[in-house]
Amino acid sequence: MSAFNALKMGESQVFTSAKSLQSRLDSESNNSTVGFLPTMGALHHGHLELVKQALQENTHVVVSIFVNPTQFNKAEDLESYPRDLEADLKLLNSVGDVIVFAPSVEEVYPEDYQNLSIDLGALGTSMEGEFRPGHFAGVMNVVNRLFDIVQPTRAYFGIKDVQQVAVVQYMVDQVQSPVEIVPSAIVREPSGLASSSRNYRLNEDQLNEALIIIDTLHFARGIARQLSPQETKVKAIEFFKNGSLEIEYFEIVHPRTLEFITEWVPGARACIVGYCGEVRLLDNLELIPSNK
């Protein structure tokens, strides 16, 4: 153990307690900036792209690896979630010097923890909120708690989970946190499939079958200018059914509010979830170019 009670693995220092991590960060100069990536491990090259961005934009980068039990709807999903800290550290060490926070459940949620309760309104009841009740309450609590521990300057989130990004931004606004939320583009495999830890659970045939998700999104983008959002949705679902996956939802939403739209707006985004066997896969794609 070092002076900060950190485990040394490769080039990364791994802190398991909030106190030891905070001591490490407090040792830096006052004008240092901290970029933060909250993850549940099972890291892939999508995470690494976020780490690279954070390394470019901050003095230090903290990556948390914590499988948060409060955001799982099914006990079997929590149990089967992949955990391999050694593999995660090897990946992180390949892109730079990062600080890793790998706490226990008890460290994140001590006995005196006060649950954060924020009414998300429609943002919390549509799409993921409808099909994963309680999920966003778990997300808000763990992210808020990790922000309290890490005190980051910026926090990085991939927009593959576009609704999660919106929820975190809303939470930050409500609690008046100074953390800057940085949404980052979806990282994809060469096939076009969105990079995800869930992809590890798919065999070669299933990885090919899962391409119907991105194919459907591209199909929707191709017909969007000729049809209304509702007509585009209907045609896209019909197209998806040409594949073997089971669809959970396909929605076309406003890029900021994520409300369902009836007229096209710049940045309008299609969001989709499908099941490949027992594996739940989600993705999204901008259908109408934004004004950026």
Would residue 135 show up in a list of annotated catalytic residues for this protein? no
Which is the catalytic residue, given 44, 47, 135, 254? Answer: 47
Q: Which residues are CB-neighbours of 8 under 8 A, at least 6 positions away?
A: 2, 14
Residues with catalytic roles: 47
